[in-house]
Amino acid sequence: MPNHDQDPLIKFHKVNKTYDGKTFVVCDLCLDIYKGEFLALLGPSGSGKSTTLGMLAGFEHPSSGSITLAGKSLQDIPTHKRKFGMVFQNYSLFPHMTVMENIIFPLRMQGISRKDACRLGQSALEMVDLGDPGMGTRKPDQLSGGQQQRIALARALVFEPLVILFDEPLGALDKRLREQMQLELRQIHRRLGVTMVFVTHDQSEALTMADRVAVFNEGKIQQIASPMQLYDAPDTAFVASFVGENNKLGAKVIHSQGNNCNVELHDGSRGEGLSPHHLSPEVSVVLVIRPERVVVSPGEGYRNRYRGRVNEVIELGDQTRLRLDVAGNEEFLVKIPRTHGAPEYRVGQDLFVGWRSQDCRVLRA
Amino acid sequence: MTTPMLMLTRPASVLPKTALALVGGLVLLFLILPIIVIIPLSFNSAPYFTYPMPGFSLRWYAEIFGGSSTSTMWQRGILNSFIVGISSTVLATVLGTLAALGLSQSTWRYRNVVFAVLVSPLVVPAIVSGLGLFYVFAKLKLVGTFWSLILAHAALGAPFVVITVSATLKGFNQTLLRAAAVHGASPSRAFYEVTLPLISPGVISGAIFAFVWSWDEIVVTLFLATPPQHTVPIRMWSGVRESFNPTITAVATLLIVMAIILMAIVGHLNRRSARFKNPSP
């Protein structure tokens, strides 16, 4: 795990990027990347995450602000002198070169002899599980998409760069292969301890792989935290809806003390939850509750206890999903593990649902 | 639903198919007939352009490669054609490739106008180009020198290079240059390691087109060349005007063979570049 006590390896300080001087693709971005960490930049398309990576790689330049690597400004360092490894979405292998020539390309650019380079290249191939003889002499177009992406990975790590950048590298692969590559990337990261910065729009990918996830929206980082923190304690309504499934209930603040917040729902009922910031009374908020944290037929001790009507019952093998009508939200989801002796539910049934105050986030609407 | 079924099963299209084959065959025959007629005549033992030929002979080839004064004239012409063709091709290829690269990366709104100007020699009648170049080169006192021919042929051959290289660049994945840069290649290194190898099929086909064009150019050359610079086509043209000498059938055959070889190279390169362009699954 990265050590957050030391100075960050890469530091974005108040970085802005605009093409027309009016709209900001990246807005006032501050971001610290620590040595050895696996950081995911997560967000929808157009959120600024790829531009951020592009500025780190040197493909684009900040309109203002600074990016430093180990304390030195990257401002005047062109891409080819930054010494990063990079894996692209469309693989971007050189089609006229063999697999081995592709992998040793970064080494040759550093002036390493062909013989030494091929030795390192072979061990990089083994690292990505493509070490079988004959692989090195093939051309990229003779390989499957998954193999090409492994070659691209080998090319990015063969010269032992300080940082490897990933620009949605698994987007073109099918689901099964993608999940397999996620685990392998994670293993390679553990083995090499190299810093990895990974851009993706797939929240489950970010949560699976990263040590920390920075959630981008509209050019700003909404929250940067570990995957579990992000899941359990989203700071903004955007993060809550972008990461995982969530139920949302509209409400307004009645009274808050510290992080504890008492609210009134739109249907007049009362509730209680935790907010990341202090909220003044009368502020409009949304209550965010994970579907699997909802308890059916809660005991009297629950402060959040509501009547609900079953709109739909979906049996999914390992879980039952109920779609309920709760406090005016007709899409309220509840996930119940299907264990032995679990009760059966039917459409139209009335029941009570509840959740603990610490499982309910109160976020500014 | 029955009508389309019937149409599919009916053996109705025999007649149109035959007609298509016939018309297609005739067109091809029309295109290739001049070549088919000329080649055997170059092996004719008699000095006439007539069939049937009385016998087989290589005397017209001997006339080109022998030691007589006519032979010297032909050999000089072939040498001139190579001097002009190769020099102008090198010039056209370098300039045309640079132009295509620049245009492909430009976002300037008038880049299409620049492109149109660069390829305009293809649509401007050769006689107009010839006349214009003659005036310009006469002022520069270049008429009657190899320089005038080389420069003119380069300018008029460059459009082929611009077009073929631009076409190759359309399929060029710009991310490859980012991949090269991020892995340590300076812009010039990336050009030699990545761009040039990938666009080389376009560069070489463009060069071949430019060379072939120069090789049989006659109109512009007539304006600019004096006898010491006369190229093969000019020699052939004046040869036909002065006397009916079958030597030109031998020369023509040599030109045809050369053109076929060059076109075969172009075909091969196009297949190769198509392979690089195919995105992988």
Return the minimum-mean-pLDDT range out of A2-6, A158-162, B14-18: A2-6
Q: Identify the residue among B173, B178, B182, B199 best suited for mutation to test binding to A, counting A beta carbons within 10 A and taking the highest.
A: B182
Q: Is A288 exposed, middle or buried, given 0-12, 13-18 or 19+ CB atoms closer than 10 A? A: buried
B218 touches chain A (CB under 8 A): no
A154 has a pLDDT exceeding 80: yes
A212 has a pLDDT exceeding 90: yes
Nearest to A79 among B175, B181, B198 (CB): B181
Query: Could you tell me which chain A residue has the CA closest to the CA of B275?
Result: A141
Which pLDDT belongs to residue A2?
Answer: 58
Cβ A80–B182 below 8 Å, yes or no? yes
Which pLDDT belongs to residue B278?
Answer: 44
Distance from CA of A56 to the nearest CA of B (A): 11
A132 has a pLDDT exceeding 70: yes
**Average pLDDT over chain B, rounded to whole?**
85
Which pLDDT belongs to residue A245?
Answer: 87
B181 touches chain A (CB under 8 A): yes
B179 touches chain A (CB under 8 A): yes
B173 touches chain A (CB under 8 A): yes
Query: Could you tell me which chain A residue has the CA closest to the CA of B183?
Result: A106
Handedness of CA A108, A111, A117, A121 (dihedral sign): negative
Domain boundaries, chain A: 10-237, 245-364
Nearest to A59 among B178, B183, B197 (CB): B178
Q: Identify the residue among A82, A105, A120, A162 best suited for mutation to test binding to B, counting B beta carbons within 10 A and taking the highest.
A: A105
Average pLDDT for A202-216: 92
- Chain B residue numbers with beta carbons less than 8 Å from the beta carbon of A79 are 178, 181-182
B9 has a pLDDT exceeding 70: no
Contact indicator for A309, A361 with CB cutoff of 8 Å: no
B11 touches chain A (CB under 8 A): no
Cβ A155–B181 below 8 Å, yes or no? no
Pairing type for strands A360-364 and A212-217 reads: unpaired
- Chain A residue numbers with beta carbons less than 8 Å from the beta carbon of B175 are 88, 90, 92
Contact indicator for A285, A251 with CB cutoff of 8 Å: yes
Return the minimum-mean-pLDDT range out of A179-183, A265-269, A282-286, B207-211: A265-269
Query: Could you tell me which chain B residue has the CA closest to the CA of A95?
Result: B276
B177 touches chain A (CB under 8 A): no
Average pLDDT for A14-29: 90
Average pLDDT for A15-33: 90
- 3-state SS of chain B? CHHHHHHHHCCCCHHHHHHHHHHHHHHHHHHHHHHHHHHHHCCECCCCCCCCCCCECCHHHHHHHCCCHHHHHHHHHHHHHHHHHHHHHHHHHHHHHHHHHHHHHCCCCCHHHHHHHHHHHHCCCHHHHHHHHHHHHHHCCCCCCHHHHHHHHHHHHHHHHHHHHHHHHHCCCCHHHHHHHHCCCCHHHHHHHHHHHHHHHHHHHHHHHHHHHHHCCCHHHHHHCCHHHCCHHHHHHHHHHHCCCCHHHHHHHHHHHHHHHHHHHHHHHHHHHHHHHCCCC
pLDDT, tens digit, 9 for 90 and up, residues B56-109: 888 888 888 887 877 888 888 889 999 999 999 999 999 999 999 999 888 888
Cβ B197–A105 below 8 Å, yes or no? no
Domain count, chain B: 1
* B64 located within any domain: no
User: B279 or B249, which is more confident?
Assistant: B249
pLDDT, tens digit, 9 for 90 and up, residues A274-298: 888 888 888 899 999 999 998 888 8
Average pLDDT for A134-141: 88
Q: A245-364: what fold?
A: OB fold (Dihydrolipoamide Acetyltransferase, E2P) (2.40.50)
* B236 located within any domain: yes
Cβ B175–A92 below 8 Å, yes or no? yes
Residue % of chain B over a pLDDT of 90: 32
**CATH classification at residue B104:** 1.10.3720.10
- Chain B residue numbers with beta carbons less than 8 Å from the beta carbon of A78 are 181, 186
Nearest to A141 among B186, B198, B278 (CB): B278
Cβ A156–B183 below 8 Å, yes or no? yes
How many inter-chain contacts (A to B, CB under 8 Å) are there? Answer: 81
Which pTM value belongs to this model? 0.79
Q: Is B194 exposed, middle or buried, given 0-12, 13-18 or 19+ CB atoms closer than 10 A? A: buried
* B133 located within any domain: yes
- Chain A residue numbers with beta carbons less than 8 Å from the beta carbon of B276 are 95-96, 141
- CATH number given to A10-237: 3.40.50.300
* B40 located within any domain: no
* B57 located within any domain: no
pLDDT, tens digit, 9 for 90 and up, residues B161-178: 999 999 999 888 889 999
3-state secondary structure of A53: helix
Distance from CA of B113 to the nearest CA of A (A): 26
State the ipTM, two decimals. 0.83
Q: Identify the residue among A53, A59, A80 best suited for mutation to test binding to B, counting B beta carbons within 10 A and taking the highest.
A: A80
Which pLDDT belongs to residue B1?
Answer: 43
B279 has a pLDDT exceeding 50: no
Angle (deg, nearest 10), helices B69-105 and B196-215? 140
Residue % of chain A over a pLDDT of 90: 38
Query: Could you tell me which chain A residue has the CA closest to the CA of B176?
Result: A92
Contact indicator for B70, B139 with CB cutoff of 8 Å: no
Domain interval for residue B86:
69-276
Q: Identify the residue among A83, A101, A109 best suited for mutation to test binding to B, counting B beta carbons within 10 A and taking the highest.
A: A109
Distances (CA, A) of B47 to A342, B60, B249: 107, 9, 11
B178 touches chain A (CB under 8 A): yes
Question: If pLDDT is split at 50, 70 and 90, which confidence band does B55 have?
Answer: confident
Distance from CA of B194 to the nearest CA of A (A): 7
Query: Could you tell me which chain B residue has the CA closest to the CA of A142?
Result: B280
Q: Identify the residue among B176, B183, B189, B193 best suited for mutation to test binding to A, counting A beta carbons within 10 A and taking the highest.
A: B183
